[in-house]
Amino acid sequence: MREFENVNAVIFDLDGTLIDSMNMWADIDEAFLLEYGVAKPEGFSDAVKKMTLNEAPQFFNSYISPPLDEEYIKRHIYELAENFYRDIVELKDGVYELFDFLVEKNIPFCIVTATYNYLAKIVTSRLKIDKHSKFLLTPIDISENCTKRSPEIFSIACEKLGFSPDKVLVVEDSLHCIKAAKQAGCKTLGVYDDFSKDDWEDIQKTADSSVISLRVLSTL
């Protein structure tokens, strides 16, 4: 797999990269707003996916009147998502094969995700993709203000993996995360996801390489 030449470690995104869950988050946004009589505006979920868990409630409240308690918004979104992660969401194609390859080549990897830490642990455990991952890192594990829009989280992940960023490959489906990873000095591999299809052309231009599916890597 030429994408992994001169790579000492790998950082994987979770939603949209390893698991097929991004459309679920869009459905949750819509269901939440409809409970309060608000039709989801165009572009709403695209905006939310770039936010921290602390930023999103404020954004929801900008469409809801009277505004809700922000802690309630966090809890309710969590409740809507928990059953999905616990029972429904599935792996994207080619994940097991890619993980087997990395284990065989002794290339360590981790998962860095903006998803709630507890939900991420539920789904990675159920789908058995936590077995060989060195650690799971979320922005809230670092600070309340940390996001995946910033290179900070990728720099910290590289440090925890024990390698300089130029030896670490970040595998991502989101354009803003690919940009942040490149700012951190990491190599980047863009992965197609239907939810991010409008950004696909820019992802291909921005990332060092790109694939339509992780399955493609097993044939290279």
Co-location of 77 and 136 in the same domain = no
Instruction: Identify whether residues 40 and 122 lie together within a single domain.
Output: no
CATH number at residue 213: 3.40.50.1000
Q: Is the dihedral of CA 160, 162, 166, 167 positive or negative?
A: negative
Residues 66-79: tens digit of each pLDDT: 999 999 999 998 89
Same domain, 135 and 41: no
CATH number at 82 reads 1.10.150
Q: Quick: pLDDT tens for 160-197.
A: 999 999 999 999 999 999 999 999 999 999 999 998 88
Out of 88, 107, 137, pick the residue that ends a domain: 88
Give me the number of domains the chain comprises: 2
Asked if the model's pLDDT at residue 3 lies above 80, the reply is no
The whole-number pLDDT of residue 51 equals 83
202 shares a domain with 165: yes
Give the rounded percent of residues in the chain with a pLDDT score beyond 70: 98
As a whole number, the mean pLDDT across the chain is 92
Residue 219: predicted pLDDT: 58
Check whether residue 10 and residue 104 sit in a common domain: yes
**Residue 76 belongs to domain spanning:** 22-88
Predicted TM-score of the model (pTM): 0.87
Dihedral, CA atoms, 198, 200, 206, 212, nearest 10 degrees? Answer: 160
| Angle subtended at Cα 159 by Cα 211 and Cα 101, rounded to the nearest 5 degrees | 40
Picking from 56, 72, 88, the residue at the C-terminal end of a domain is 88
132 and 210 share a domain?
Answer: yes
Write down the residue that tokens 């130029």 correspond to: 166
Same domain, 29 and 67: yes
Structure tokens at 141: 């594990």
Q: Which of 35, 56, 88 is the last residue of a domain?
A: 88
Tell me whether the omega of the peptide bond preceding residue 66 falls within 30 degrees of 0, making it cis.
Answer: yes
Tell me the H-state helices in 113-162. 117-126, 152-161
Q: Domain check: are 74 and 163 in the same one?
A: no
